[in-house]
Amino acid sequence: MSLLHSDQVSQASHNLNDINAHLVDNETLLNYCLRALSAPGVTQLAIDLEGVSLSRNGKLSLIQVMTDLAQNTVWVVDVTVLGNFAFEYVGQSGWSLRTILENRDTVKMLFDVRNDSDSLYNLYGITLANVYDLQLLEIAVRRSNDLNAVIVSGLSSTITQYLNPDRDWKRVKDEGNTLFKASGNQELVEIRPLDPRIIQYAVQDVTLLFQLAGKLERALGDIGKNWVKRVFKASSKRVKQALKPLPQYSNPKKAKKAKIFAPMF
């Protein structure tokens, strides 16, 4: 089972200059966004979230979404500005962002869905459906090739290892990280108007998720079977963690350490 066709992968853009990023911060733009995300033929969404301490105890600021039909367009939904309206407004297409995210017929590709799901469910009551967690897919690649898979890999290191992104990607990543460190303020993503460098930083990773999924699927080895199906099942299990009370750790460092170990599936 493969989610991406080879022609879709080859058309995925590497260059941010080729990407149209739309900041959705009013009803008119939200209507356009919903129409694009629910368009006939859309079967997969690449999704990334930005926020402050993104979790049930933090803030959700931005949701970046790209469809498999338009891999040169990213919709950046400004949750800080729109609040609940971002999820509850029903566009002319008959869809809301809530119903799109909870739609079981559309695959949602994310990388490490845990904090995203925890934030969406506990702050806005949204349960992501049909999630394909690419961090789990990367674990499957290692296990299916008899490689060490004790620790999970982060998004940046995974993109670097499997896609070898161009200098533009690294420049935007470094500029964003420098901006956050220089300001000493992790709430930069909450300040309006948004710094254009923050928007670029938010957009760039989601533009590579479709391509990353295709590369990882082609890298699956011969050890074990039904890996894609197993990734979907393990992804669903991660989503459901948001519905449960947080595990109690006496030491915050232990809580962070517990998240770095690759799950068995």
DSSP string, 196-226: HHHHHHHHHHHTTHHHHHHHHHHH--SSSS-
CA-CA distance, 73 to 1, in Å (whole number)?
A: 26
The pLDDT assigned to 8 comes to: 37
Query: 129 with 101: CB under 8 angstroms?
Result: yes
The pLDDT assigned to 120 comes to: 98
The pLDDT assigned to 181 comes to: 86
Polymer length in residues for the chain: 265
Query: 3 with 228: CB under 8 angstroms?
Result: yes
CA-CA distance, 202 to 189, in Å (whole number)?
A: 9
The pLDDT assigned to 15 comes to: 64
The pLDDT assigned to 109 comes to: 98
The pLDDT assigned to 185 comes to: 73
Domain of residue 89, CATH code: 3.30.420.10
Query: 166 with 18: CB under 8 angstroms?
Result: no
Q: What is the pLDDT along the chain (265 residues), one digit of tens a residue?
A: 444 433 333 333 346 778 999 999 999 999 999 999 999 999 999 999 999 999 999 999 999 999 999 999 999 999 999 999 999 999 999 999 999 999 999 999 999 999 999 999 999 999 999 999 999 999 999 999 999 999 999 999 999 999 999 899 999 999 999 998 887 777 999 999 999 999 999 999 999 999 999 999 999 999 999 999 999 999 999 999 999 998 766 666 666 778 899 999 9
Q: Is residue 206 part of a domain?
A: yes
* Coil, helix or strand at residue 32: helix
Query: 155 with 112: CB under 8 angstroms?
Result: yes
Q: What are the residues facing 165 on neighbouring strands?
A: none
Residue 140 burial (CB count, 10 A): 25
**Residue 120 structural domain:** 6-258
Q: Is residue 265 part of a domain?
A: no
Residue 261 burial (CB count, 10 A): 10
The pLDDT assigned to 170 comes to: 92
Identify the CA nearest to 37 among candidates 22, 59, 26: 22
Q: What is this structure's pTM? A: 0.92
- Distance (Å) of CA 193 to CA 43, 125, 244, 245: 33, 27, 35, 35
The pLDDT assigned to 13 comes to: 39
Residue 87 burial (CB count, 10 A): 22
- Contacts by residues 261-264 (CB-CB < 8 Å, ≥ 24 positions apart): 261/150, 261/151, 261/152, 262/139, 262/149, 262/150, 262/151, 262/152, 263/136, 263/139, 263/234, 263/237, 263/238
* Structural domain count, the chain: 1
